[in-house]
Amino acid sequence: MTASSSPPGDSNSGSRPDLASHRESTVKIVRSAGWIAAAVPLTVVLIVAYANLFAYSFTQWLKPEYSHGFLVPFFSAYLAWHWKQWAPERIKWPNTWGLAFIAGGIGLFLVAGLSNIAKEWLQGLSFVLNLCGIALLLGGWPTLRWLWPALAFLMFMFPLPYSVERTLGWQLQKVAAIASEFTLQTIGYPTYREGIVLHVQDHALEVEKACSGLSMLLTFVALSVGMALVVQRPWVDRALILVSAVPVAVFANVVRIALTGVLYNESGKELGDRVFHDFAGWMMMPIALLILWGELKLLDWVFVNVSGSSTREDIKENAINPAYLFVPPPPEKGRAPVSQAKPTSLPAPPTDPAKGAQR
């Protein structure tokens, strides 16, 4: 199975984008005094305007739910480097369409600050819009086509709105408790549930907010999106990676809770708490990655890459009669039948050595 390494959304996957002859060299423009005089003030204004947002985001990155936020900028830079061959060699600037993106980002920033509804997340979205506007203004459409996946990935830095985080966390708590109850009962441990509290024989195990799996879900979704952007596979495989991110994260958290319930009964509460809060928390991400790797291998087995291509007539015949996928169609009038290799002569019958000696 193969796929192009071009950025998502680029239609020219087999060749470099067309470069207009009147555009100047990118290196020459970036080193010019005019380009630097425009880029530096824009960068300074952007840093000052979003200083409070990044200070708040930093405090959220210290929590388990958003600890992946520290790595997002570095992975975003890697995405830009990964597609560096799509960086335009020649650009024409300024592109006034970039001002439209910047205006939209400024408007969204002001609305989010005044309404105080999903403030930090919407301001993060305005930050990405402003970065896209600056890229378009200073580098044109080719630069934006190159950088937009890396810039969009920066959204994983910013915390979810509180209402979304609260609702999602509560739902994950209930799902984790129900699934863990079923798992423990299946493997032979008498368990019943009261809300989000699991009673496993003589022990009570509460699925707290920190154990809802929200941190696992957010981290694994970010990881799945990054993998779908980087991996060189068909779009079907990438879509399946994204769709499976949520169930895989939930499954890994259920395994963690069920393992803790088993340890509560077999080794005591102290060891169970230690595994639940420490060791199991570190091991869930490798387990989720192992499941994702197994999913990719399964896709390799299911979707076999067959060399060669079918003609339009073959496709129509197979659509009319699917049996033609296994049995070749009969030859039509005026159409030569498919030649099949035949032996030039029949094999000689085996001779008995004893009879040959008598003769």
In this prediction, residue 150 carries a pLDDT of: 92
Domain limit, last residue, from 109, 144, 159:
159
Position 17 in a domain:
no
Show the domain range for 88: 24-159
pTM greater than 0.75: no
Domain match, 292 and 203 both: yes
Angle value at C-alpha 88, between 146 and 100, nearest 5 degrees: 60
CA 22 to chain centre: 38
In this prediction, residue 312 carries a pLDDT of: 53
Position 286 in a domain:
yes
CA 266 to chain centre: 38
Position 3 in a domain:
no
Position 215 in a domain:
yes
Domain match, 88 and 137 both: yes
Number of domains forming the structure of the chain: 2
Domain match, 153 and 176 both: no
Domain match, 133 and 209 both: no
Domain limit, last residue, from 302, 325, 352:
302
In this prediction, residue 279 carries a pLDDT of: 60
In this prediction, residue 339 carries a pLDDT of: 47
Domain match, 193 and 98 both: no
Q: Mean pLDDT of successive 10-residue segments in the chain (359 residues)?
A: 51 43 66 84 92 92 82 91 85 86 93 87 94 91 91 91 82 85 86 82 71 73 85 82 84 81 74 61 69 79 58 56 54 50 48 52
Domain limit, last residue, from 287, 302, 317:
302
